[in-house]
Structure 1
Amino acid sequence: MARDMSLCCCFIVVVMALLKGATAAQTYLVGDSFGWKVPPNSSYYTIWASKRTFYVGDKLTFNWTGSHTVGISHIQAEYDNCTRDPGEVLNSSGPGLIVPLGTSGSFYFYCTVDDHCGSGQKFAINALTNGSEPPSPSSASSFTIGAFVAAVVSTIVITVLIYD
């Protein structure tokens, strides 16, 4: 009986740890290994962003060499028109500019140097609050993976308790 209770307590601790990890903030490297530079095609960063679900608390890391900026706007028209003076322009002399997503809503990111934005160096995201539904079910969230792992672990623990 004491062994069963110990296993049950261990199970609860494991499930809680998995669920806590499922809501942990993520850090995304914009463009992955390509980085933040004029892309090979105009949809490169749009495709990159569409494969991810972003939440408040996540961070975007922009790595680049050469002359680039990160313009941030909450106004789609500024993004669509590649406005040279968006709400905020972040500069960095080196790689590793980190932009935290502190609020929910739409964020429009683009480079304000020359015609980089017009060449596709831009992307838009929608930062969700934890617990919000992502816009499409095509991307598996870490919560779904955590729930799956919790279900597998609980099945194993229950099997051990029943057949032991």
Structure 2
Amino acid sequence: MAASCSTIVFIMTVFALATSISATEYIVGDQNGWSLDFDYQTWTKDKVFYVGDKLVFNYAPGVHNVMKVDGTAFQQCITSSSNGTLTSGRDIITLQTPGRKWYICGFGKHCELRNMKLAITVQAMSPAPSPSTSSTLSVSTTYGFVVALFSGLPLFLV
């Protein structure tokens, strides 16, 4: 029984490792960063966000911030002290749950008048890449790693 539990824990650990390897880091706004008068809605159009991906907000500290808000606060650009306000100038948010996510700048009227607001939808899991994608090397390396680990261990299946 202990051997099968160890095998299950091992498989779950390998799965978590493979999932973390496939996570994508998005620089919000690309080279523009988190800035005034940028069209974040257009920026998100060709992107699919998954649990485990990271959003990186780059901006000048003391000039902007990042606030996670709900849908109503996003639409109305409402800020409150209960929001988790990030202020480092390089804030990294790991997307941990699927669903809609909303972020605004809480400085002045940056959200209301200068378009500093980002809304995304996070998907539950990243699909397995097709063999024709550029990620084939990392996926096959990950699976090669898993095969190498399994080949040296006896499997106890119940």
Fold-level similarity (TM above 0.5): yes
Paired with 2:55 and 2:74, the residues of 1 have a C-alpha distance of 18
* Unaligned stretches of 5+ residues in structure 1: 1-19, 133-142, 151-164
Q: Show the counterpart of 2:68.
A: 72
Please give the alpha-carbon distance, in whole angstroms, between the structure 2 residues aligned to 1:27 and 1:88: 23
**In the superposition, relative to structure 1, how do residues 88 and 80 fare at CA in structure 2: closer, same or farther (>3 Å)?**
same
* 1:69-148 alignment, distance < 5 Å: 69-73=65-69, 75-85=70-80, 88-93=83-88, 95-118=89-112, 119-130=114-125, 143-144=128-129, 146-148=130-132
Check whether the contact 1:60–1:98 (CA below 8 A) recurs between aligned residues. Answer: yes
Contact conserved, 1:78 with 1:86, CA < 8 A, in 2?
Answer: no
Name the count of aligned residue pairs: 115
What is the correspondence of 1:10-29 to structure 2 with a 5 Å cutoff?
24-29=22-27
Distance 1:55 1:86 in 2: 28
CA offset digits 1:43-92 (Å, max 9, x no partner):
x111112221000000000100141111112x211100000117523222
Q: Gaps spanning 5+ residues in structure 2: where?
A: 1-17, 137-158
Give the alignment partner of residue 48 of structure 1, picking from 40, 43, 49: 43
In structure 2, C-alpha distance between the alignment counterparts of 1:87 and 1:128, rounded to whole Å? 26
Using the size of structure 1 for normalisation, the TM-score is 0.62
Higher relative contact order (CA closer than 8 Å, sequence separation 6+) = 1
**Corresponding residue number in structure 1 for 2:152:** none
The aligned counterpart of 1:136 is: none
For 1:106, what is the secondary structure of its paired residue? Answer: strand
Letter of the 1:29 counterpart: I
**In structure 2, distance between residues paired with 1:131 and 1:51:** 15
- Do the aligned partners of residues 89 and 131 (structure 1) sit closer, same or farther apart at CA in structure 2, a change above 3 Å counting? closer
Mapped to 2, the partners of 1:61 and 1:117 lie a distance apart of 18
Cα deviations by residue, 1:116-135 (Å, 9 ceiling, x for unpaired): 00121001001111157xxx
Once the two structures are superposed, residues 4-34 of structure 1 have per-residue CA deviations (whole angstroms, 9 ceiling, x without a partner) of xxxxxxxxxxxxxxxx58x710000000000
CA RMSD of aligned residues (A): 2.4
Residue identity in the other structure for 1:61: V
AA partner of residue 108 (structure 1): W
What's 1:32 paired with? 30
Do 1:69 and 1:89's aligned partners in 2 also have CA atoms closer than 8 Å?
Answer: no
Identity of aligned residues (%): 29
TM-score normalised according to structure 2 size: 0.64
2:56–2:92 contact (8 Å) kept in structure 1: yes
Higher Cα radius of gyration: 1
